[in-house]
Structures are given as structure tokens and as C-alpha cells.
Amino acid sequence: MRVLTFFARLLVPLLIVAGLIADSGLERAVPEASEIQVFDTESSISGSSALTSTWYCPTAHSRELAESGIDAEVDLLVTNTSAEPTRVTVYLVSPTSPLESIYLEVPGLASRSLPIAEYTDDELVSALVEAPSSGVAVTRSIRSPYGLDAALCSSLVADEWYVLSADTQADASGHLIIYNPLPTDAVIDLTFASEAEVGSYAPSELTGIVIPAASSLSIRLDDNVRRRQLLTAVVKARFGRVVVDHLQTFNGSSGRVGFSATLASATRSTSWHHPALRLEKDERVALVLFNPTEFVAETELQISSGEGKVKSVFASVGPFDLTGINILPLEDEELATNTLFVSPGNFGITVKSLNGVPIVSAAELGAGPIGSPGQESDDSELLEPQEESGKVELPKGRVSGLSILNGTPEGSGTWMLAAPNLGGQMLISVLNTSGRGEDVYLSQFGDRANYRVNVPGNAVRQLFVGTGGTWEIKSEVPIVIAALHQKTLAAGLMSIAPVKFGVEE
């Protein structure tokens, strides 16, 4: 994955893995409970007590521009989880064109796909989706020349968003799409933390940026931030509220190829769950932990298999800083520090803050060659630069991909998972966040596909199903879920995040 140069960061607590102990001379701040703020602002499907459903999608379409654009074609997946049909209004919002409305009829217990490229060819388009009923959810399937990914839309706007696992090296291109759906202007500041600096820093050109009302802005990170292997960004609104996407591309010039689309996280929490991690041949996994507070965060990483917890390791994250953790097979255990070693296959990880300091966590998954600037893959695995936009053709027989997926802060008893129709199979992973084993029920909308999977306490279990369906997953104990799909012999590793059902008030 990434080789992180943590030994150059003299004042940051070092990762403790497999007995590695942080420098005992470093004094850690001990926070008071009253000083700690934990924010849970996760998107959810409105319950029956709500009168409407509203969703915000920062990236609904994007056309590559010389300065800040990126090619991204989007299919909105609108799901109606109630039994009654509803009529959804999709408003296409662009900084350069008038507002456009599209109407979509969605039957009860069904999903409908809306290809936005058929309605616009604008430079940058966001979407506001409204339904006159509860129980509607909106997700996205996003395609670029370098692959495809799935991303949630947001059911909320917030004044602070966290973007993890960005990369600004020569073969990478990262974009933030910042959408202000409100009728008043927003003013935002961006701060960054990387593997090479201690704490956070704020480029002057990315401070005090105005996002006009009902408009969006694309910011290309590699044009404004130092070249770094690992970067986190905080988008904070000093006035107003916004919604943020992170689009990340690897162009193959060093070996790695892929595209990831991720809705940023607006939550800081003392626990994070990653149910759908996989490490096989030509695959790689890394975790990123970001600490948005002034206190040192002491964390425990619990690895789960099909039978329960396998082992725990520990990591420290400095104030306003990040820690990156590479995950490698057990046979490579002697090769590196700052690394977690697991058996090949599927697994889950739960990250817990031991001293109550809230953090943010994300996982990055990759497939195909690992080469990056300065550590390029073999010449046969490198791609020539694209002169024109279009689908990238990989060498025969090669798969590749990139997907960044935020962790889930807490379990729930009911989830909805909407998957685009990609062909082949996807892997649904279920992580039981309780200590009690329980059956988990998976049922597909409009189909007779029903499954029951028994998941022991603190264990993760998987199920292969066809793509293109909408699933409801239920359990008597709190669980978290996610799905993975790798496009065959192509660039396209997709992580599919679920949406939880809101608590009735």
C-alpha cells in the first residue's frame, strides 16, 4: 500500500503494533470529559413519522476541465422503502446553468436508476432529491475513465466534513466537490494533515472560500497541496453548511490504476467499524485514523474473523494529525513496522478510542499493481498518459481498482443496501458489533431471494449475491454491513456502503 515515513515525525506518537511501544518520553494530554465533543451526524432513511425525504448529492455529473474538472458520470439510485409509490423530484444544480427539474416515479419497495448524463452535459452538476413521503433513500453509481465506484448521497448538511485517504502524488488526482444546497452563501476553510508534517496546516488560498447559495465548487487538491502519499482534509464552514464529496484517481503512469468516489464523513466518534475488508493476491488494504481534537487519541484495533475477534493491536494518533496503517499478509510480517498483519481472505476491523478522544476512520482498498511515484511497477504494468478523455484500456488479463470507504460509527438493527447492476457477484459482509451471536436476515426487494446467516458475537460473515438489487438486512443485535464488487478484467473495485433506517421519534 503506502510506505509511510513516520520516523521523520519526531513529535508524533508512534504506532504500537505487535509490541512496538511509543516513545515513553512523550507526554500525552489527558482530556476531561467536558472538553470532548463527539458528533454523530450519519445519514439515515427517514421513518414513517417524517413527512418528506430530502437527499443531497454533491457530484451528480462532472466534465473534465483544464483547471479543476474530473470526468464523472453518475446514475442516481432512488429507493423507496415504503409500500406506497412516490414521485421524486430531482433538481440538477450547476454554477453555470439554470436549475433543472426531473420527475421520477418510484414504486413501493423498489429502486429506480436515473442516468444524469442524459439530462445534462454541464461542467459540474450537483443534485437535490426531494420526495413528498418518508422512507426514500438516494445513492450513486459513479463512472470515470479509470474505474467506477458507489457513493452515498447525504440526508443532512453540516458545518464540518472530514476527508480521509487523499493522495496528491504525480500519478494521482484528487478533487473535493463542495455543494451548498442552502439559499444563503457559505464560507469555508480547508485544513490538511499528512504523513510528512506534524499536525495540521492551512494553505492561504484555501481559506475563506465562498460557496454561493445553491451552487457547487470543485477544488483540485494536487494543484493546491504539497505532493503527499497520504493526506486528510477538513472542510469547515465558518458560515453556512455544505455537503462534500472526495473523488480520487490513480492514472496508471506508475502502475496503480483506479477511481474512488466517497461522501465525506461529518461524524467524529469513539468507535468505527469496517466490515468489508479483503486481502488476497494483488490486493491491498490500509486504514487511516484522523484525530480532529487537541488531545492524543489512544486507539485499539480489533480484528474479526468468521468466528469472532482474532487479535487486537494499538495505535496512537496525535492532535489534529493522522496515522496510516498498512495491512499485509502474515508471511510478510518481518518486512515492516507501522503495519498490521492478517491471514489472507475476508475480515473486519473495529477501531475504538481507549481514552474517549473521538476520531475519524476510513479504509482504502486497492487491486492490481501497487506502483507509485518513486516505486514504479514493471514497465509492462505502466499506462501511457491519456491524450483525450475516455475509458482506459488495461493490459489483457489484468484487474485493477481503488475504493475508499468510511467506517461506520455504530451498529444498527436494520440496514438498506442498494447495488448498481454491474454483472457478476458482489460480496456482502456483516459484522456483529455485539458480544452475542445472532441470525441476520437478508431479503431483496421485488424478489424471492431471502437468506439467513448466523453471525457469532464480534464476528464477520460474508454472503455472495448477484448485483443490481436492493437489500434489507435485519438483526436483533446491532450489526454493520458493506459490500464489495470487483469488475472482471477491468478497472473497477467498488465498495458499496449501506444506509441505516432512522430512529422513530
Q: What CATH number has the domain bearing residue 487?
A: 2.60.290.11
CB atoms within 10 A of CB 149: 28
Q: Which of 128, 143, 158 is the C-terminal boundary of a domain?
A: 143
- pLDDT value, residue 448: 73
CB 377 within 8 A of CB 394: no
Residue 103: all three cell numbers together:
420527475
**Is 464 within a domain?**
yes
Task: Please list the helix, strand and coil fractions of the chain in percent, rounded to the nearest 5, in that order.
Answer: 5, 55, 40
**Is 243 within a domain?**
no
DSSP 8-state symbol, 33: G
Q: Which of 120, 143, 166 is the C-terminal boundary of a domain?
A: 143
* CA distance linking residue 445 with residue 443, whole number of Å: 7
Closest C-alpha to 165, from 192, 127, 190: 192
Q: DSSP letter string over 312-338?
A: EEEEEE-TTEEEEEEEEEGGGTTS-SS
Provide the greatest CA pair distance for the chain: 63
Mean pLDDT by 10 residues, the chain (505 residues): 37 36 41 64 85 96 70 94 96 94 96 95 95 95 92 96 95 95 97 90 94 96 90 97 96 92 96 95 93 96 93 92 89 60 88 97 94 89 72 80 96 94 91 96 86 96 92 96 90 92 69
Q: Which domain holds residue 456?
A: 406-501
- pLDDT value, residue 354: 97
Q: How many domains does the chain have?
A: 2
**Is 387 within a domain?**
no
**Is 34 within a domain?**
no
- pLDDT value, residue 491: 85
CB atoms within 10 A of CB 39: 16
* CA distance linking residue 79 with residue 104, whole number of Å: 11
**Is 26 within a domain?**
no
CB 402 within 8 A of CB 165: no
CB 321 within 8 A of CB 193: yes
- pLDDT value, residue 394: 81
**SS3 of 245, please?**
strand
**Is 421 within a domain?**
yes
**Is 336 within a domain?**
no
**SS3 of 491, please?**
strand
Q: Which of 97, 114, 143 is the C-terminal boundary of a domain?
A: 143
Q: Which residues of 436-463 are buried (b: 16+ CB within 10 A; e: fewer)?
A: eebebebbbbeeeeeeebebbbbbbbbb
**Is 484 within a domain?**
yes
Helix (H) or strand (E) holding 501: strand 499-501
CB 468 within 8 A of CB 421: yes
- pLDDT value, residue 424: 85
- pLDDT value, residue 449: 78
